[in-house]
Chain A
Amino acid sequence: MKRVGYFFLYLALIVVALFQILPLIWLFLFSLKSNQEIFAGSPFSLPSEFRWENYQKVWDGGIGTYFLNSVWITIAAIIFTVLFASMAAFALTRMKWKLSGLVLGLFMIGLMIPIHSALIPLYSMFLSVDMIDNPWSIVITYTAYNLPITLMILLGFYYTLPHEVEEAAIIDGCSIHRMFFRIILPMTTPIMATTVVINMIYNWNEFVFVNTFISSEKYKTLTVGIQNFIGQYMTDWGAIGATLIISVFPIIIAFIFFSNKVVEGISSSAVKG
């Protein structure tokens, strides 16, 4: 009886897993097929011939530019966010000043803001300093909007760092900057890794800022770029499939190698809200 019960529990869990994964398997399979095969054949049949030329075609079609833009913008914003958030976490948890509670509160409020409410003013601000259609507007916007969540994830770890380390360093005549960059920051490597993974996912997937601030093809990132692409290959399902697989590939790879960090980061991002 108990065994039968467990069988149904497993069945339920596996049905959910199939619902989560089958659309992606279908996507991968049709990215390697021709239209004929997609429309006539059964959806989950293996391609009669693996048409990697679909990938070749979209890569040659210019998706590489979007891909590289996504890469550098994602990395640049991660570096700024994690550095600035670490410095802020240090100031908020280790240094003594009256307004620290208020500043922390402002960052907390920053977690709840709907970004769309700030979109029009941001656009006009960037327009007035001539930074519309400039990828750096994207980098600093990503940095700012990921600061609150990154700071929240870091704070818990900073609170647990032992004070003795700083005391010893300062008494030995170490400057505060040396202490932060050479001692404290390296000690937070595990939690920084978590924030890096979370920032990577946010930045790589972000759409609305790029769609609003960037108009030149040469600066577009993948999320916006694939929109054009898909318009262009309207009826070529294989090409569309290949485009989508290329756009999600780095995230899937990161997940395979760092799944525990991703799980940890996403769980702690639940404080968001």
Chain B
Amino acid sequence: MGLNVMNKVMSNKLYIAFYIAPAFILLMVLIFIPLLLSGYYGLMDWDGIGEKTFIGLDNYIEGIQDKLFWNSALHSFLLALFSALSLIIYLAVSIILASKIKGADLLRKIYLIPMLLSSVAIAQLWVKVYNPSNGILNSFLRTIGVENPPSWLADPSLVLFAIFVPILWQYAGFYILIYYAALKNIPESLIEAARIDGATPFQIAMRIKLPLIKEIVSVTIVLAIVGSLKYFDLIYVMTAGGPNGASEVMASYMYKLAFSSYNFGYGSAIGFLLLIITLIVTLIIRKVTETKEKLEY
């Protein structure tokens, strides 16, 4: 009888609505509806304030033919590639860190500190690091005898790499933390058995540890690549996409179209393309990592 009362209370529609409604309404109104509207506004010629004029797929066609957009997409994908490759470094550091190192706990917390800071503060700090005359980097280069060190953020051929270093710095602790936790979950007995069989630490890392944390590695690949496609704050503050578009990324290009040129219709179309590209890339990576798992198990 008690359970009956319980079931009755727990399936009361009014109560359910009361508990789920606040979160659900916010999710719909502030996340899903704007996303759909973005696709819809993309069909309009609109300056954000005046009347919207329906122009069909013109904005999307313009976007697909827009060299500046593809230029920014190329930069986003390059950053995504760098981020994915940097996972190898993080993984190597994590494997060392998880191999019975004293002070590992303290070290991984130190690694995590940059991750806690705002991208704006990180950007401002690294603008100072790269300052051509007084930055710590060029001071150091001059001390070791480099006479004309580059002016990093003002150099179109270097700016993307220069921006990538703070990204590496910001996220290192995050990925190391994730890998470290996964590695610590591997049963010690497995590693001990391999060691007794005469496996070298390198073999143990490659043949036992890596395959066992493959799932988490594929999650981090998605995070790194999709995360990179969305970069904005850091780049907006460090270079605003400059010099001359050399560090423009998809999100910063969209932002400029909407909030500097007041081209809301076209900006929305670019924003919607960004959404679609992100979803497609996520699905592709998920698919690729999935098939691999099926093949090897």
Contacts and interface: CB of A to CB of B under 8 A. Distances in A.
Interface in B145-194: 169, 172-174, 177-178, 181
Interface residues of A, number: 92
Nearest to A87: B19
Contacts of A171: 2, 5-6
Contacts of A9: 96, 99, 101
B38 A121 contact: yes
Nearest to A212: B259
A171 B4 CA distance: 10
Nearest to B15: A176
Interface in B80-120: 93, 96-97, 99, 101, 107-120
A151 B23 contact: yes
Given A13-B93, A266-B112, A20 B271 contact: no
Nearest to B31: A110
Given A13-B96, A114-B229, A91 B120 contact: no
A5 B81 CA distance: 32
Q: How large is the interface on B (under 10, 10 to 19, 20 to 34, 35 or more residues)?
A: 35 or more
A144 B27 contact: yes
A170 B6 CA distance: 6
Given A91-B16, A117-B272, A121-B34, A13 B172 contact: no
A257 interface: no
Contacts of A30: 128
Nearest to B109: A259
B233 A84 contact: no
Contact of B232 (A39, A116, A230): A116
Contact of B31 (A87, A113, A123, A230): A113
B121 interface: yes
B199 interface: no
Contact of B97 (A13, A204, A224, A230): A13
B233 A20 contact: no
A117 B275 contact: yes
B125 A10 contact: no
A31 to B, nearest CB: 11
Contact of B34 (A118, A208, A271): A118
A240 B11 CA distance: 57
A95 B116 contact: no
A232 interface: no
Interface string A103-125: 10011001011111111111111
Interface in A7-53: 9-10, 12-13, 16-17, 19-21, 23-24, 26-27, 30, 38-39, 43
A113 B35 contact: yes
B26 A143 contact: yes
A244 B125 contact: yes
Interface in A65-114: 83-85, 87-88, 90-92, 94-97, 103, 106-107, 110, 112-114
Contacts of B24: 88, 103, 106
B124 A88 contact: no
A140 B30 contact: yes
A112 B279 contact: yes
A16 B94 CA distance: 11
Interface string A139-177: 011011101100100000000000000110011000010
B294 interface: no
A84 B110 contact: no
A201 interface: yes
Given A95-B19, A237-B128, A208 B232 contact: yes
A126 B178 CA distance: 37
Interface of B: 2-3, 5-7, 9-13, 15-16, 18-20, 22-24, 26-27, 29-35, 37-38, 41, 48, 93, 96-97, 99, 101, 107-121, 124-126, 128-129, 133-134, 136, 139-140, 169, 172-174, 177-178, 181, 216, 219-220, 222-223, 226-227, 229-230, 232-233, 236-237, 251, 254-255, 258-259, 264, 267-268, 271-272, 274-275, 278-279, 282
18 contacts: A9-B101, A12-B96, A20-B111, A26-B129, A90-B19, A92-B20, A116-B271, A120-B258, A121-B41, A143-B26, A145-B30, A201-B116, A205-B118, A205-B119, A207-B119, A223-B118, A224-B120, A266-B174
Interface of A: 9-10, 12-13, 16-17, 19-21, 23-24, 26-27, 30, 38-39, 43, 83-85, 87-88, 90-92, 94-97, 103, 106-107, 110, 112-125, 140-141, 143-145, 147-148, 151, 166-167, 170-171, 176, 180, 201, 204-208, 212, 222-224, 226-227, 230, 237, 240-241, 244, 247-248, 251-252, 255, 259, 262-263, 266-267, 270-273
Given A12-B93, A21-B113, A120-B271, 13 more contacts: A13-B96, A87-B19, A97-B16, A112-B282, A118-B35, A118-B38, A120-B264, A140-B30, A145-B30, A205-B119, A222-B118, A226-B120, A267-B181
